[in-house]
Structure 1
Amino acid sequence: MFQEMLYRGPSLDELHENYAKRHQIDEAAPIRSAHEVVIDAPVERVWALLADPAGWSTFAPAIHDVHVAGDRTASVDTRFTWINGRAKIASRFAVVEPLREITWTGSAMGSRAAHRHLLTTREDGTMLLRTEESMAGTLLGLFYGSAKLHAELTRWLDAIKTGAERS
């Protein structure tokens, strides 16, 4: 338990290059979670929501003040900043495979995270959206844990589902 509290994880650059870009989260991170949801909408609609951080507030009101570098297009190594609730997060896309996977890394308040999204079209025309995330940072576990992360991932996917099915 004590060692988990002190686990800092890899540097943000290493997390980005050697984990996220290789379709992985930090499995050694003490804070991890995964969640999935079936969405009754075409994968293109879900992708459009995920690949447009500047539009996230349209379906997830806790997210605001999103700023994307360059032309606002999700592409590998594009940086963006955003606020989720009260946490300001500096992020960078690691994987952008249209209609299949979008992954980013980010840091906030001394923590480092890798957040993957996998999109799969199902035979019945619906699609499965799966997300997984790891977070690490010295003493992060004192105020944030896997249960809180899971609750956040559940809210996030529910918001995407509602947004995609409403469109």
Structure 2
Amino acid sequence: MFQEMRYRGPSLDELHENYAKRHRIDEAAPIRSAHEVAIDAPVERVWALLADPAGWSAFDPAIHDVRVVGNDTVAVDTRFTWVNGRAKIASRFAVVEPLREITWTGSAMGSRAAHRHLLTTREDGTTLLRTEESMAGTLLGLFYNSAKLHAELTRWLDSIKAAAEQS
């Protein structure tokens, strides 16, 4: 347990370049979770929600003050900042494959995270949205854990599902 508390993980640049851009999270991170949800909406609608960070607060009230650096275009290496709950997060997109995957890395309060979203069109025209995330940082486990992350991921996907199915 003490070793997990001390695990810092790779640097943010390494996490971005050698993990997230290669379609993976840090499997050695002590805090990890995954969740998926079937959404009764076409993949284009789900993608539109995910690829519009400035619009996230419209369906997830915990998210606010999103600022995309540059021309507001979601592209690989585009940086953005946002607040989720009380945590201000500095992020950067690592993978932007329209209708298939959007992944970003981020840091907040000494932690580093990789967060993937995978979209799959199902035979019936609905969408399967899967997310997985890893978090690491010295002593992060003192106030955050995989169960809390899983609850956040579940809430996030449920918010996306509700918004996509409402449109």
Shorter-chain TM-score tier: over 0.9
Q: State the 1:72 CA deviation.
A: 1.1
Report percent identity of matched pairs: 89
Counterparts of residues 48-67 of structure 1 (less than 5 Å): 48-67=48-67
When normalised by structure 1's length, the TM-score is 0.99
Q: 1:45-97: CA deviations, max 9, x gaps?
A: 10000001000000001100000011211100000000001000000000000
Q: Is the aligned partner of 1:145 residue 2:145?
A: yes
One-letter code of the match for 2:9? G
Where does residue 84 of structure 1 map in the other structure?
Answer: 84
Gaps of 5+ in 2: none
Where does residue 114 of structure 1 map in the other structure?
Answer: 114
When normalised by structure 2's length, the TM-score is 0.99
Q: State the 1:124 CA deviation.
A: 1.0
One-letter code of the match for 1:74? V
Q: Is the aligned partner of 1:157 residue 2:157?
A: yes
Name the CA distance, whole Å, in 1 between partners of 2:19 and 2:159. Answer: 27
Q: 1:103-148: CA deviations, max 9, x gaps?
A: 0000000000000000000001111000000000000000000000
Moved over 6 A (4+): none
Name the CA distance, whole Å, in 1 between partners of 2:99 and 2:69. Answer: 22
How many aligned positions are there? 167
Name the CA distance, whole Å, in 2 between partners of 1:138 and 1:68. Answer: 28
Where does residue 123 of structure 2 map in the other structure?
Answer: 123
Partner-residue secondary structure (3-state), 2:19: helix
Name the CA distance, whole Å, in 1 between partners of 2:94 and 2:7. Answer: 23
Partner-residue secondary structure (3-state), 2:105: strand
